[in-house]
Amino acid sequence: MNSYKQSTVNEQKPRLSLDNIEKSLGEIQNTLEKFGLTANQSKVYLFLGKNGTKTATEVFQALKLPRTETYQILSSLQSKGIVSAIIGHPVKFTAIEISEAISSIIDSEKQKIKKLEKQKAELIELWQTVPIGNDEKVEEEKFQILQGENRINSKIIEMINDTGSEVRVIGNEKDFANFYHTDILENIAKIDNCKILTASTQKTKYMYEEIKKINIRKIPVTVKDNLCFIIKNNEVLFYMNNKSQKEVTAMWTNSNSMSYSKKLLFDELWNKSK
């Protein structure tokens, strides 16, 4: 009877296929690269994490990496605090647990940010000592191409930081999920004069709990779901749907004609929305 129960329990356990395992490892590697590791650094860390303690020779033979590069990678991973060396002949290397590794990387990035913030104040102070020939400031129309979610999200937060501004936002469910998890939506909720057009469904209704209902409308189903842009006064940031690029790309501009045309489009859709 006990053996029958045991076999039934074992049968009920989901078995991961080789494809699913490779897919999971690929996603982990992509995430590690977002944390600042190179592709080969991620491969070496995952190899040690999966296979346990190994020598440098075993690492570069298994991953088919150049010998010199492998030693450099192992050294850099040690300096990041996510790989340890075991003294012996030969020296062996082991990866720390992934939860500890990510915490170590995050702590390192925080220290870099603190250092940059300190240097920012010093640079501003130095800049103020430099004489400027022309005191007149000419308002010029500019644009920036932004690549990567982190860079785009930082620009959006910079745009909506002024709670006294007028802000319009349009996007699909995935766009607003990103805004919700990066605190952008929380910052938008603090702005009284905001309008949100969303294609979100009932299952993500919770994301808008902090926003006044009068400020939200649902995009008509006839509108394609790849439309996403943010307008603040005369500034516009809009996502560019270029599938050939690995990273998400957006454009920011303070062009009066561009902001005017986007406002016209937004207001037309707002009037057609519920």
Q: Is residue 11 part of a domain?
A: no
Same domain, 159 and 250: yes
Q: Is residue 180 part of a domain?
A: yes
CA separation for the pair 205, 196 (Å, rounded): 13
Q: Is residue 213 part of a domain?
A: yes
Q: Is residue 221 part of a domain?
A: yes
CB-based contacts of 131: which residues, under 8 Å, 6+ apart?
A: none
Strand partners, 113: none
Tens-digit pLDDT profile for residues 65-93: 999 999 999 998 888 888 888 888 888 99
Q: Is it the case that residue 260 has pLDDT exceeding 70?
A: yes
Helices (H) and strands (E) in the chain, counts: 10, 10
CATH classification at residue 90: 1.10.10.10
Q: Is it the case that residue 186 has pLDDT exceeding 70?
A: yes
Same domain, 267 and 148: yes
Same domain, 80 and 149: no
Residue 7 pLDDT = 46
Question: What mean pLDDT, rounded, does the chain reach?
Answer: 81
Task: Determine contact, residues 98/58, Cβ cutoff 8 Å.
Answer: no
CA separation for the pair 115, 196 (Å, rounded): 37
* Phi, psi dihedrals of residue 95, rounded to the nearest 5°: -95, 140
Strand partners, 94: 84
Q: Is residue 227 part of a domain?
A: yes
Tens-digit pLDDT profile for residues 104-158: 777 877 787 888 888 887 888 888 887 766 555 556 788 888 888 888 888 888 8
CATH classification at residue 218: 3.30.870.10
Same domain, 62 and 158: no
Q: Which domain holds residue 175?
A: 144-272
Domain boundary among 98, 113, 128: 98
User: E-assigned strands of the chain?
Assistant: 54-55, 83-86, 92-95, 143-147, 167-171, 194-198, 216-218, 229-232, 235-240, 249-253
Q: Is residue 246 part of a domain?
A: yes
pLDDT: which is higher, 138 or 197: 197
pLDDT: which is higher, 250 or 225: 250
Same domain, 45 and 152: no
Q: Is it the case that residue 255 has pLDDT exceeding 60?
A: yes
Q: Is it the case that residue 15 has pLDDT exceeding 60?
A: no
Residue 1 pLDDT = 46
**CA quadruple 27, 29, 33, 37: dihedral, nearest 10:** 160
Query: Based on the structure, what is the number of domains in the chain?
Result: 2
CB-based contacts of 218: which residues, under 8 Å, 6+ apart?
A: 197, 198, 199, 200, 273, 274
Q: Is residue 79 part of a domain?
A: yes
* pTM exceeds cut of 0.75: no
Q: Is residue 94 part of a domain?
A: yes
